[in-house]
Amino acid sequence: MSSVFHRIPNRNLPIAVKGDGMYIFDKDGKQYIDGYAGGACVSCLGHSQESVIEAVREQIGKFAFFHSAMFTSEPLEELGSILTTDAPEGLSRVFFTNSGSEAVETAIMMALQYFVEIGQPKRKKVIARRNSYHGGGLTNLSLGYQIARRAPFEEVLQSVFHISPCYEYRGRLNDETSEQYGLRVANELEQAILGLGPETVMAFVAETVTGTTNGTTPAVPGYFKRVREICDKYGVLLVLDEVFCGLGRTGTLHACEQDGVAPDFLTFAKGIAAGYQPIGATLVNQKVYDAIVAGSGTYKGGYTYAGHATACAAAIAVQKILRGPGFLDQVKVTGKLMSDRLNDRFGQHPHVGDIRGRGMMMTVELVEDRDTKAPFAASNTLSARVFQNARARGLITHALSGTVDGYIGDHVVVCPPLIATGENLDTIVGLLGEAIDAAVLEVRPKAA
Ligand code: PMP
C-alpha cells in the first residue's frame, strides 16, 4: 500500500523505471509511446538526451546549492543571457522560478510591485480569459478558469475579471470572418478595462496558445495585436503565459512571435529544461526592472531554490539543442506532418468536430454530433475512457473534459516530444484512433 498522497489516489499508476527516446517503460516491462511529452508537455527532447544528462552530472559534482541572493553562478548567468538574447522586444531581464505556477505568480507580483513603485497603487485589478489554465496555486487558480479545480477554493480566490477566450471553433459567428471574430473578442478587453476603471487595471493575462484546458487553441490572426494595442492605450501590462506553448513547441522559440506581439512579461517552464530538472522563468520588461531597481531596490517575491545551478545547467544544455542549426525548422516540418496525420485519421470521423493547434501541439475535439457541434453528455465520461483505452494500448496522451465551458465537452491533446519521427507519429495517431473509437463504442454501442 502506498503512503504517497497521489493527486488522483484511485488511479492505478504504473511504476515508471526507464525512459528511452520516445518511450517510457514501467516495472512490468510494458512500453508506452510518449504522445504527451512526459505526460505534461514537458519532455520536449524525449527521455534519454545524453548531453543534458551529462550537464546535470557535471554541475552537481561542483556544488549542491547556494541561495541566489547570496551567490550568483555561471550556469545562472549563462542561462539568463541565453533566454534574454533572443527574447521578444523589451524583455531584457529574467527571473527564475521552480515551476510554471511560480513563473505566472511572479509576473503578477512584479506587476503589482511595479505600479506601487511608480506611484499608481490603485492599479491592482487583473483581467484574464475563460477556458484558461495558469497553474495550481491560489493566484494561478484565480487567473485560470478550470471550473472543477477552482471549485473547492472559490471563496478565497482573488477577484479576477474573465473575458471570452479566442476559441474560433465555438465562438465565431457564421457571418464573421476569423479577423472580425478576433477583433470582437479582443475588444471585450477594452470593455472590461472601461467597466472596471482604467486607472485600477494592472494586467491582462493570457496563454498565447492555450494548453490543456481549452485544447491547444491558437488565437486568430490580429487578435493579440489588438490586445497589445488596448493594453498600450490604457497602460495595462500584458502577461503572456507560454509555460505550455513556449520554447519551440509551436515551431518558433516563442509562440507570440507568430502573433506579432511582445508582452511585458513572458512565462516559461516545461520546455526550459525539458523535464531533466524542474525550473521556470519569467521574462520581464526593462521598464519594470528599472522601476523596481530605482524604487525600493528589491523585488519582494522569490523562492529558495530558484536559479538552482543544476537546473540551470540542464536548461542550458536543452536550450543549446533547441537553438541548434535546423532544430526549429524540423519542428515545423514535424508539426505539419502531425497535423496531416491527424487530419487523415480524424478529418471525417463522425465524433471529431475540430482538429486544431500550432506546431507540435495539436488537439482533437470530440463531439456527439459534428453538424450541431453538440458535445457528449458529461455523464458519459468520454475523455476518461479515451485516456484509459490509450494507456491500455501503450500510448501516453491527455484527454480532458470541460472543453466547452468548464463542464461539458471532451478533447484529446497530442504533444509528443519534439524529436518524434514520422513513424512515431503514425504509431501515436493509430493508437489514438483505436482509443477514441473504443471509448465511443463504450458510450454509444451502436453508433461507433
Ligand atoms: N501555465 C500554463 C499555461 C500551464 O500549462 C501550466 C502547467 N500545465 C502552468 C502555468 C503551471 O505550471 P506548473 O505545473 O509547472 O506549476
**Ligand 1 pocket check: which of 101, 207, 279 to mutate, most ligand atoms within 8 Å of Cβ?**
101
What the block records as the C-alpha cell of 274 is: 525539458
Summarised one tens digit per residue, pLDDT across range 235-274 is 999 999 999 999 999 999 999 999 999 999 999 999 999 9
Please name every residue paired with 267 in a beta bridge, in sequence order, or none if there are none: 241, 282
Ligand 1 contact via 243 beta carbon (within 6 Å) = yes
Average of pLDDT values for 58-78?
A: 97
pLDDT in tens, 153-177: 999 999 999 999 999 999 999 999 9
Q: Give the C-alpha separation, 206 to 213, whole Å.
A: 13
Q: Could you tell me if the CB of 211 is within 6 A of ligand 1?
A: yes
CB contact set of 425 (below 8 Å; sequence gap of 6+): 334, 337, 338, 341, 416
Say which residues have a Cβ less than 8 Å from residue 116's Cβ, sequence separation at least 6. 295
Count other C-beta atoms under 10 Å from residue 324's C-beta: 10
Mutate to test the pocket of ligand 1, among 98, 133, 242, 282 (most ligand atoms within 8 A of CB): 133
Q: What's the CA-to-centroid distance between 40 and ligand 1, angstroms?
A: 9
Nearest ligand 1 atom to the CA of 144 is 1
Q: Provide mean pLDDT across the span 100-122.
A: 98
Reduced to 3 states (helix: H, G, I; strand: E, B; else coil), residue 295 is: coil
Between the CA of 27 and the centroid of ligand 1 the distance, in Å, is 28
How close is the Cα of 363 to the center of ligand 1, in Å? Answer: 17
Residue nearest to atom 12 of ligand 1 (CA): 100
Residue 448 pLDDT greater than 70, yes or no: no
148 band by pLDDT with thresholds 50, 70 and 90:
confident
> What ligand 1 atom has the least distance to the C-alpha of 40?
8
What is the Å distance from ligand 1's center to 10 Cα? 23
Average pLDDT for 41-66: 98
Closest-CA residue, ligand 1 atom 11, reads 135
Report the separation in Å between the CA atom of 320 and the middle of ligand 1, taken as the mean of its atom positions: 23
Asked if residue 36 has its Cβ within 6 Å of ligand 1, the reply is no
Measured from the CB, is residue 105 less than 6 Å from ligand 1? no
344-366 per-position pLDDT tens digit: 999 999 999 999 999 999 999 99
Inform me whether the pLDDT recorded for 11 exceeds 90. no
Q: Is the CB of 306 under 6 A from ligand 1?
A: no
CA dist 110 and 429 (Å) reads 42
Beta partners for residue 201, in sequence order: 125
Distance CA 174, CA 282 (A): 39
* Strand ranges inside 215-275, DSSP E: 237-241, 265-268
99 in contact with ligand 1, CB cutoff 6 A: yes
Average pLDDT over residues 70-80: 97
Return mean pLDDT, the chain: 97
Tell me how far the alpha carbon of residue 243 lies from the centroid of ligand 1, in angstroms: 6
Alpha-carbon distance 287 to 281, whole Å? 18
pTM for this model (two decimals) = 0.98
Residue 415, ligand 1, Cβ within 6 A: no
The pLDDT value recorded for residue 92 is 98
The confidence score (pLDDT) of residue 446 equals 67
**Of ligand 1's atoms, which has the minimum distance to the CA of residue 270?**
15
Q: Is the model's pLDDT at 91 over the cut of 70?
A: yes
Ligand 1 in contact with 244 (CB < 6 A)? yes
User: Is the CB of residue 104 below 6 angstroms from any atom belonging to ligand 1?
Assistant: yes
Question: Going by CA atoms, what residue is nearest to atom 9 of ligand 1?
Answer: 135
Ligand 1 atom nearest to CA at 242: 3
446 C-alpha to ligand 1 centroid (Å): 39
Domains, the chain, ordered by start: 16-34+326-447 (3.90.1150.10), 53-322 (3.40.640.10)
Q: How many CB atoms lie within 10 A of CB 72?
A: 13
Distance 372 CA to ligand 1 centre (A): 32
Closest of 334, 363, 299, 353 to residue 421, by C-alpha: 334
pLDDT digit string, tens, across residues 270-285: 999 999 999 999 999 9
Distance CA 9, CA 7 (A): 6
